[in-house]
A and B are shown apart, each in its own frame.
Chain A
Amino acid sequence: MVTLYRPGNGPWHRLRAGPKTALLLLIVLGICLLPVTWWAAAVMAGVCLACYVVPGAGLRELGRQLVTIRWVIGLTLVGQLIFLGPESAAANTTRVAVACALAALLALTTPATELLETIERAMQPLALLRIDPRRAALTLSVTLSTLPVLAGLARDVREAQRARGGGRSLRHFAMPFLVMALKHADELGDALAARGVR
């Protein structure tokens, strides 16, 4: 899983994953229900700041998260400004940014194992549809954990292309990347089987 978790001992870290997820979901839901006005944008920003200002999170971390999603913020802001005007743009962009930042707060303060267990519990009703919640949660976890590996493989293929004087051909990139990704999938399957996952 992409690692966002930062070890700590603040209130968000001490709160268990289930109640924390529910609380953050409620806050995000509340933010979604606020009207599209200047003061609502200010309230949303205030709530987000309040969530991050507690020990264990911090405004610097909030800044890092906002920088990470700068393209989402920028695109939302520009689109809204063009079609809906400044007040709607401010309110809606703040809403999106706050929702992303609060989602990140969950990942920042909760170890992946706890998140995995929470996802498993949340998926329990899917058992009625014959979907194994344990397997579904694990699939999600493994999918996320594979992202940095795939990014590394893509970098290796691009470097190999450059080393052999290749250009930026998508075709020449896609084939070796696909082969390497499938090989990695094979090896990961073996590693999972070796660790007792059927």
Chain B
Amino acid sequence: MSGIELQGAGVRLGDTEVLRDVTLSLDARTIAVIGENGSGKSTLGRLLSGLVPATAGTVRVLGLDPVRQAAELRRRVAVIFSNPDAQIIMPTVAEDVGFSLRTEKLPRAEKAERVTAALEEFGLADLADRSSHDLSGGQKQLLALCGAFVRRPDLVVADEPTAYLDARNARRVADHLLADASHSGTSHRLVLVTHDLGLAERCDTAVLIQDGTVAEVGAPAQVIATYEAGIRW
């Protein structure tokens, strides 16, 4: 399965060129995207998950064109955002996880089975009937992860998934995302957009984005060193 291929890709939002001339060929299982605020790294994540279209160049994610094959991409790519409140759609925990399977053509019993298994996997089984909005920040983010993984995606794009969390919950979320053998027995690739350099270090490859373009790609330790050397305090 091919991973991520971008050739001269760019994204323009209004008058602002947020990403320009991005050329990447990534096949690692876990990829960290780092860079300063406003550098364009979140836009890169949104581009890969098909939430914004490229206004220049070509993009292929898992061999798919995010615009022309949007439905197939949605089926295979899950997205986790930083704000867990914005990801809750249904009133109870179990129903919110089940919502992710709404468009899957599966028998009702199998959907229920998958929801139960996912809730157990993420330690949310005891909270199944609780109001989603009454959960703590960490539990909400675990719920978001659970809702993403229940679809058994091939690729997970996570944009600052630990930004709102305390150290313990951040660790739990990161461990789930970076787990080698994925939930429900399927393996997933990960694109992790993050400011947490410790987390970036745990990935297989890192991409440094500066001023809307790729500054460096390589081993996380080396890319992080370049990033830190370039920071003007």
Q: A residues within 8 A CB of B70?
A: 198
Cα distance A182–B84 in the bound complex, in angstroms: 16
Q: B residues within 8 A CB of A192?
A: 89
Q: With both chains docked as a complex, state the minimum distance between the C-beta of B220 and any C-beta of chain A, in angstroms.
A: 26
A190 and B90 within 8 A (CB): no
Q: A residues within 8 A CB of B51?
A: 190, 193-194
| Chain B contacts with A in 40-58, Cβ cutoff 8 A | 46, 49-51
Across the interface, name the chain B residue whose C-beta is closest to A190. B51
Cα distance A191–B89 in the bound complex, in angstroms: 9
Of B81, B95, B133, which one neighbours A187 at CB under 8 angstroms? Answer: B81
Chain A: number of interface residues, binned into ranges: 20 to 34
**Residue B63 at the chain A interface, CB threshold 8 Å:** no
Q: B residues within 8 A CB of A2?
A: 91
Across the interface, name the chain B residue whose C-beta is closest to A134. B102
Q: With both chains docked as a complex, state the minimum distance between the C-beta of B183 and any C-beta of chain A, in angstroms.
A: 17
Chain B: number of interface residues, binned into ranges: 20 to 34
Q: Pick out which of these stretches binds chain B: A69-77, A84-92, A140-148, A166-174.
A: A140-148
Cα distance A7–B93 in the bound complex, in angstroms: 13
User: Could you mark each residue 184-197 of chain A with 1 if its beta carbon is under 8 Å from any beta carbon of chain B, else 0?
Assistant: 10011011111111
Cα distance A191–B134 in the bound complex, in angstroms: 19
User: Could you mark each residue 125-156 of chain B with 1 if its beta carbon is under 8 Å from any beta carbon of chain A, else 0?
Assistant: 00001011110000000000001100100000
Q: With both chains docked as a complex, state the minimum distance between the C-beta of B222 and any C-beta of chain A, in angstroms.
A: 32
Cα distance A1–B88 in the bound complex, in angstroms: 10
**Residue A24 at the chain B interface, CB threshold 8 Å:** no
Of B74, B78, B87, B91, which one neighbours A1 at CB under 8 angstroms? Answer: B91
Cα distance A180–B148 in the bound complex, in angstroms: 25
**Residue A9 at the chain B interface, CB threshold 8 Å:** no
Cα distance A141–B88 in the bound complex, in angstroms: 12
B95 and A113 within 8 A (CB): yes
Q: With both chains docked as a complex, state the minimum distance between the C-beta of A134 and any C-beta of chain B, in angstroms.
A: 9
User: Could you mark each residue 59-95 of chain B with 1 if its beta carbon is under 8 Å from any beta carbon of chain A, else 0?
Assistant: 0000000000011001100110101011111111001
A195 and B95 within 8 A (CB): no
A149 and B90 within 8 A (CB): no
Assuming the A-B contacts A113-B98, A195-B100, are A190 and B88 also in contact, with contact meaning beta carbons closer than 8 angstroms in the complex?
Answer: no
B99 and A3 within 8 A (CB): no
Q: With both chains docked as a complex, state the minimum distance between the C-beta of B67 and any C-beta of chain A, in angstroms.
A: 13
**Residue B37 at the chain A interface, CB threshold 8 Å:** no
A190 and B79 within 8 A (CB): yes
Cα distance A183–B46 in the bound complex, in angstroms: 16
**Residue A112 at the chain B interface, CB threshold 8 Å:** yes
Can you list 11 contacts pairing A with B, beta carbon distance less than 8 Å? A2-B91, A3-B92, A112-B95, A113-B90, A149-B86, A152-B85, A152-B133, A188-B89, A194-B51, A195-B102, A198-B71
| Partner-A contacts on B (CB < 8 A) | 46, 49-51, 70-71, 74-75, 78-79, 81, 83, 85-92, 95, 98-100, 102-103, 129, 131-134, 147-148, 151
